[in-house]
Amino acid sequence: MSENRNEEFRVTVLPGDGIGPEVVETGVRVLEEVAQRFSVALCLDYDDIGWAAVKRYGVPLADETLDRVRKSDAVLLGAVGGAEAESKDFALRPEAGLLALRKGMDLYANLRPVRILAPLLDASPLKPEIVKDTDLLVVRELVGGIYFGEPRGRERTEQGEERALNTMVYTVSQIERVARMAFSLAMERRKRVVSVDKANVLDVSLLWREVVTRIHPEFPEVELGHLYVDNCAMQLIRAPEQFDVIVTGNLFGDILSDEAAVLAGSIGMLPSASLGTQGSLYEPVHGSAPDIAGQDKANPLATILSVAMMFRYAFGLKEAGALIEQAVLAALEQGFRTSDLRAEGARFVGTKAMGDCVLDQIGRIRPDGP
Within 312-341, the residues that bind ligand NAD by CB under 6 A are 340
Tell me whether residue 282 is one of the annotated catalytic residues. Answer: no
Query: What residues are paired with 194 via a beta bridge?
Result: 225, 246
27 binding ligand NAD? (CB under 6 A) = no
Within 298-317, the residues that bind ligand NAD by CB under 6 A are 298-299, 302
291 binding ligand NAD? (CB under 6 A) = yes
Q: Phi and psi for 227 in degrees, rounded to 5?
A: -135, 145
Tell me the H-state helices in the chain.
20-37, 51-57, 63-70, 94-104, 128-131, 172-187, 203-215, 229-238, 250-262, 301-313, 318-333, 351-364
Closest distance between ligand NAD and the C-beta of residue 45, in Å? 20
Q: How far apart are the first and last CA of the chain?
A: 12
Are the C-beta atoms of 212 and 179 separated by less than 8 Å?
yes
Tell me whether residue 313 is one of the annotated catalytic residues. Answer: no
Residue 54 identity (one-letter amino acid): V
Alpha-carbon Rg of the chain, whole angstroms?
21
Stretch that binds ligand NAD, among 30-38, 134-142, 237-245, 281-289 (CB under 6 A): 281-289
Which residue of the set 108, 147, 170, 282 is catalytic?
147
Query: What residues are paired with 283 via a beta bridge?
Result: 272
Residue closer to ligand NAD by CB (options 101, 139) is: 101
Tell me whether residue 89 is one of the annotated catalytic residues. Answer: no
288 binding ligand NAD? (CB under 6 A) = yes
Tell me whether residue 258 is one of the annotated catalytic residues. Answer: yes
Residue closer to ligand NAD by CB (options 134, 266) is: 266
CA distance 76 to 93: 20
Name 153's Cβ contacts closer than 8 Å, sequence gap at least 6.
164, 165
> 103: how many CB neighbours lie within 10 A of its CB?
17
Closest distance between ligand NAD and the C-beta of residue 327, in Å? 18
Stretch that binds ligand NAD, among 238-246, 284-292, 326-334, 354-362 (CB under 6 A): 284-292
Residue closer to ligand NAD by CB (options 72, 288) is: 288
Q: Distances from the Cα of 334 to the Cαs of 64, 306, 308, in angstroms?
A: 44, 21, 20
Tell me whether residue 191 is one of the annotated catalytic residues. Answer: no
Number of residues counted as binding ligand NAD (CB under 6 A) = 21
Closest distance between ligand NAD and the C-beta of residue 221, in Å? 34
Residue closer to ligand NAD by CB (options 22, 197) is: 22
Residues that bind ligand NAD (CB under 6 A): 19, 23, 79-82, 95, 98, 267-268, 286-292, 298-299, 302, 340
Catalytic residues: 147, 198, 230, 254, 258
